[in-house]
A and B are shown apart, each in its own frame.
Chain A
Amino acid sequence: MNKTVRLWVLGVGCAGVALLFVGAFRRLPEFGGSHHPYGARAVAAALHRHTANVVSSVNFDQRSFDTLGEQAILFGAVLGTVVVLRQARDERRVPPEPAVVAPTVRRYALVSLPLTLLVGLYVVAHGQLSPGGGFQGGLVVATALHLLYVAVDYRALERLRPVPVFALADAFGDVAYLLLGLAGLFAGASFLANVLPLGTFNTLASGGLVPLLNAAIGIEVASAAVVLLAQFLDQALELVPREGEHR
Chain B
Amino acid sequence: MNLLPFLCAGWLFLVGCYALATSRNLIHAVGALAVCQSSTYVLLLAVGYRSGGTAPVFSDVPPGARPVVDPVVQALTLTDVVVGATVTALLLALVVQIAKRHGTVDPDELRELRG
**Interface of A with B (CB < 8 Å)?**
6-7, 10, 13-14, 17-18, 21-22, 25-26, 28-34, 36, 38-39, 42-43, 46-47, 52-55, 57-59, 63, 66-67, 70, 73-74, 76-78, 80-81, 84-85, 88, 129-131, 135, 202, 228, 231-232, 235, 247
A32 near B82 with CB under 8 A, answer: no
A131 near B87 with CB under 8 A, answer: no
Compute how far the CA of A53 lies from the CA of B14 in the bound complex, rounded to whole angstroms: 34
B93 near A80 with CB under 8 A, answer: yes
Within the complex, what minimum Cβ distance (angstroms) separates A247 from chain B?
7
Q: Does B110 contact A (CB under 8 A)?
A: no
Which residues from A are CB-within-8-Å of B59?
52-53, 129-130, 202
Compute how far the CA of A81 lies from the CA of B96 in the bound complex, rounded to whole angstroms: 10
> Would you list the 4 A-B pairs with minimal beta carbon distance, nearest first?
A39-B70, A77-B86, A32-B51, A58-B75
Choice from B51, B56, B63, B97 contacting A84 with Cβ under 8 Å:
B97
A-facing residues in B72-98 (Cβ within 8 Å)? 72-75, 78-79, 82-83, 86-87, 89-90, 92-94, 96-97
Q: Which residue of A lies closest to B95 (CB)?
A: A84
B56 near A74 with CB under 8 A, answer: no
A46 near B71 with CB under 8 A, answer: yes
Choice from A25, A59, A88 contacting B10 with Cβ under 8 Å:
A25
Compute how far the CA of A30 lies from the CA of B3 in the bound complex, rounded to whole angstroms: 8
Q: Which residue of B lies closest to A21 (CB)?
A: B10
Which residues from A are CB-within-8-Å of B68?
39, 43, 54
Compute how far the CA of A30 lies from the CA of B75 in the bound complex, rounded to whole angstroms: 21
CB within 8 Å for A73 and B83 given contacts A85-B97, A130-B57: yes
Which residues from B are CB-within-8-Å of A58?
71-72, 74-75
Compute how far the CA of A27 lies from the CA of B90 in the bound complex, rounded to whole angstroms: 36
Which residues from B are CB-within-8-Å of A232?
92-93, 96
**Interface of B with A (CB < 8 Å)?**
1-7, 10, 13-14, 17-18, 21-22, 46-51, 55-59, 63, 67-75, 78-79, 82-83, 86-87, 89-90, 92-94, 96-97, 100-101, 103
Within the complex, what minimum Cβ distance (angstroms) separates B11 from chain A?
8
Within the complex, what minimum Cβ distance (angstroms) separates A80 from chain B?
5
Within the complex, what minimum Cβ distance (angstroms) separates B8 from chain A?
10
Which residues from A are CB-within-8-Å of B78?
55, 59, 135
Which residues from B are CB-within-8-Å of A88?
100
Within the complex, what minimum Cβ distance (angstroms) separates B83 from chain A?
6
Q: Which residue of B lies closest to A239 (CB)?
A: B100
Compute how far the CA of A120 lies from the CA of B10 in the bound complex, rounded to whole angstroms: 34
Which residues from A are CB-within-8-Å of B72?
38-39, 42, 58
